[in-house]
């Protein structure tokens, strides 16, 4: 079983960017934690990060014709306005869980709206790096 994890724009800056909101953990810390947990669950994990909307869409579309069981995606700022990423998620027939490190509903008004969540299986927000672990565990229950 393979799980695809997609990290969107600016997540490569974790540990440097606004630590009060995003914490001190880096993207490498999150990825290492996911690799460790995936070994415990005996699942393969493929991790991808891009600041480019088109690259994220390409990765989602590639999942259509692969043996990916489910996707964990943190679309970053694209959460709030990318209809193109929403459409790519909607075209998938596999579970997709949207994650966010911070609680987007406790932030600026524009961050409270997700255009991608309605076409996802579920959304996990506000648990820091544990949002990713919760999503991985949730996929294993599907």
Catalytic residues: 22, 100
Among all chains, which residue has been given the structure tokens 């990713």?
132
Contact 78, 49 (CB under 8 A): no
Q: Cβ–Cβ contacts within 10 Å for residue 8, how many?
A: 24
Contact 34, 133 (CB under 8 A): yes
DSSP string, 73-128: EE-GGGGGT-HHHHHHHHT--S-EEEEESS-GGGS-GGGG--SSGGGSSEEEESST
Structure tokens at 17: 């960017």
Q: Cβ–Cβ contacts within 10 Å for residue 54, how many?
A: 10
């Amino acid at each position: 079983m393979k799980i695809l994890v997609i990290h969107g724009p600016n997540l490569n800056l974790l540990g440097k960017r606004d630590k009060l909101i995003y914490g001190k953990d880096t993207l490498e810390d999150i990825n290492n934690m996911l690799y460790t947990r995936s070994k415990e669950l005996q699942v393969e994990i493929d991790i991808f990060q891009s600041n480019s909307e088109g690259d994220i869409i390409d990765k989602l579309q590639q999942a259509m014709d692969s043996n990916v069981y489910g996707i964990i995606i943190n679309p970053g700022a694209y959460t709030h306005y990318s209809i193109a990423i929403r459409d790519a998620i909607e075209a998938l027939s596999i579970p997709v869980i949207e994650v966010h490190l911070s609680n987007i509903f406790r932030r600026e008004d524009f961050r409270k709206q997700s255009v991608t969540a309605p076409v996802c299986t579920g959304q996990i927000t506000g648990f820091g790096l544990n949002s990713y672990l919760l999503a991985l565990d949730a996929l294993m229950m599907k």
